[in-house]
Amino acid sequence: MRYLPLTQKQEDRILKLCQVESFDQLVQSIPESIRVDGLLRLPEALSEMELCQHFDNYANMNSDAKSYLGQGAYDHTWPAVLDYLISRGEFLTAYTPYQAELSQGTLQSIFEFQSMIAEMTGMEISNASLYDGSTAALEAILMAARLQRKEQGTIIVSEGVYEDTLSLLKTYLDPLNIKIEIWKSDATGQAQASSAPKVADAFGVLLQSPNKWGVVEDWAQLQSAAASLNVKSIAHVPEMHSLTEFSAPGDFGVDIVSGEGQGYGLPLGYGGPYLGLLCCKKQDVRQIPGRLVGQTEDATGQRAFCVTLSTREQHIRREKATSNICSNQNLMALRAAIYLSLMGPKGLETVSKMNRSRLFTLQSLLSDTLKTDAVTISTAPCFNELSLHFKSEKTCESLLRNLESKNILAGHINKAPVESGFQSSLTIAVTEKSCPNSLKVLADAICGELK
């Protein structure tokens, strides 16, 4: 099969247009030393059957270990019909609507998505989605800087922000000369307004909840910290299901909400695709990056949907756009919208209640049998994730390794809250899919190791 069909005639025409004699002459600016001599060193071609076997072999290398890893990626269940709906050709093959108004159905689905996300976060405006949770946190910070008319300055970030999110923030903010100042948590892993750093050139403060230890934060502390510094407040929600059980940041008057929508029916995957969420107040809508879909009326007075306020976007505003990474992930947003409408308020409540009760099951299993001074079980309010704080980093790491050899990925190791006096935290993710039996196996294994 010819993958790059190019006849001699076509090649001659191209060379003539480029005013060169030969292909070699065309690429003469590329140094000889880095040009490939001869053919690429590729393995022999495989037949269709061999190719399938080749990839099956890779697939078989996947571990079937029981995983309690979380940190922004949670193994939730979803109604089976979701997979059938989302794989319909009209949805699966449709991309970001560049001829937006031609695809009213796509626009309506985005509009519904925005409405549902705004309702869950308690905010007035939601955009049509962003790349993922961590880039949404970044966009929230850049938006806060624009709102405060700061080109440089400091963003205050809670100690409980995921390590990978923090590293992404550093990658983007360092070259912009925006500094990051950490807002230390108390010994239980919660941020208190009184300990927010007083930085003169701060323009915003970001609080993540649930945080990297699984601890649910108090949005009132965020608001009070932001108010005392006279800066914008950003609530970062990496697990949207937590908002069913705990208060929505919008109810506290938070300025910007960023989040990760993976929990809303998106499968786990290395590198995604996940779903970034970004919400703001109506007064700040011109500084929100990304697509926004609005509802209007067409010439005949019928309801219609349109891309709105697109003068903020890069195809109109070029280098002055509110963002140049405002790729919205329609399919993922649609998936979340279908998930939310299938679940409804009652379904969401059931899921989050199950999540919490499974976490309590693990918590009580552990506290019943774990009798050692080296480890403390977090008692702070938590959602989806529970942390065990270790006096010694080594104990924590060897526990994780030993359980791994028993085919259990027991969780993620974080630095313990600085104020707690502990060194490391093993953060264990539990969802409605973690059955009580396997939680018992996990608890027994942990207690067995730490005896």
Partner 1 sequence: MSEIRENLRYTTDHEWAEKLSQPKKVKVGITDFAQNSLGDVTFVELPEAGKSVKKGEVIGSVESVKAVSDIFAPLTGKILSVNEALNDDPSPLNTAPFEGGWLIEMEIENEEEWNQLLSAQAYEQHAQ
How far is it, in rounded angstroms, from Cα 85 to Cα 340?
13
Burial grade of 173 (CB within 10 A; 0-12, 13-18, 19 or more): buried
Size of the site for partner 1 (CB under 8 A): 6
- CA angle 120/363/440 to nearest 5° reads 110
Q: Name the E strands within 312-402.
A: 375-377, 385-390
Cβ proximity to partner 1, 194 vs 311, nearer residue: 311
d(CA 280, CA 119): 12
Q: Does the protein bind partner 1 through residue 317 (CB under 8 A)?
A: yes
364: Cβ–Cβ under 8 A, 6 or more apart, which residues?
Answer: none
Stretch that binds partner 1, among 59-67, 314-322, 348-356, 361-369 (CB under 8 A): 314-322
| Least distance to partner 1, CB of residue 328, Å | 21
Provide, rounded to whole angstroms, the least separation between the CB of residue 300 and partner 1. Answer: 20
Question: Which of residues 2, 9, 315, 320 is near partner 1 by CB under 8 A?
Answer: 320
Q: Whole-angstrom Cα distance, residue 418 to residue 188?
A: 10
Q: Given the complex with partner 1, which of 61 and 299 has the nearer CB atom?
A: 299
Shorter beta-carbon distance to partner 1: residue 149 or 346: 149
| Site for partner 1, residues 110 to 169, rule: CB under 8 A | 149
Q: Which amino acid is at 296?
A: T
Q: How far is the CB of 317 from partner 1 (least distance, A)?
A: 6
Stretch that binds partner 1, among 101-109, 134-142, 315-323, 424-432 (CB under 8 A): 315-323
Using an 8 Å Cβ cutoff, are 290 and 130 in contact?
yes
Scanning 130-138, 218-226, 297-305, 309-317 for contacts with partner 1 by CB under 8 A, the matching segment is 309-317
CB 384 within 8 A of CB 355: yes
User: Considering only 83-91, 107-115, 167-175, 312-320, which stretch makes contact with partner 1 by CB under 8 A?
Assistant: 312-320
324 binding partner 1? (CB under 8 A): no
SS3 assignment, position 291: coil
**Quick check: 315 binds partner 1 (CB under 8 A)?**
no
Sort residue 406 into left (φ over 0), alpha (ψ -120 to 50) or beta: alpha
Distance of closest approach, residue 350 Cβ to partner 1, in angstroms: 44
Cβ-based nearer residue to partner 1, 169 or 231: 231
Count of residues for the chain?
A: 451
For residue 120, give the nearest of 263, 6, 3 by alpha carbon.
Answer: 263
Tell me which amino acid residue 267 is. Answer: P
Structure token pair of residue 188: 């239980």
Beta sheet of 232-237, edge-to-edge order: 125-126, 276-280, 256-260, 232-237, 202-208, 153-158, 178-183
From the list 64-72, 163-171, 223-231, 313-321, the region that binds partner 1 by CB under 8 A is: 313-321
Q: Write the DSSP symbol of residue 382.
A: B
Cα atoms in the 13 Å half-sphere on the side-chain side of 172: 18
Whose Cβ is closer to partner 1: residue 317's or residue 433's?
317
- Which of 188, 186, 187, 229 is closest to 206 using CA atoms? 229
**Per CB under 8 A, 286 contacts partner 1:** yes
Which one of residues 194, 295, 311, 341 is an interface residue with partner 1 (CB under 8 A)? 311
Of the candidate spans 109-117, 213-221, 310-318, 392-400, the one that interacts with partner 1 by CB under 8 A turns out to be 310-318
Tokens of 24: 């070699």
Q: Report the residue number, 192 or 314, with the smaller CB distance to partner 1.
A: 314
Could you give the string, one character per residue 77-116, with x where binding to partner 1 holds by CB under 8 A and - elsewhere? ----------------------------------------
Site for partner 1 (CB under 8 A): which residue of 51, 268, 316, 418? 316
Span of 22-30, 258-266, 316-324, 438-446 interacting with partner 1 by CB under 8 A:
316-324
- Binding interface with partner 1 (CB under 8 A): 149, 286, 311, 316-317, 320
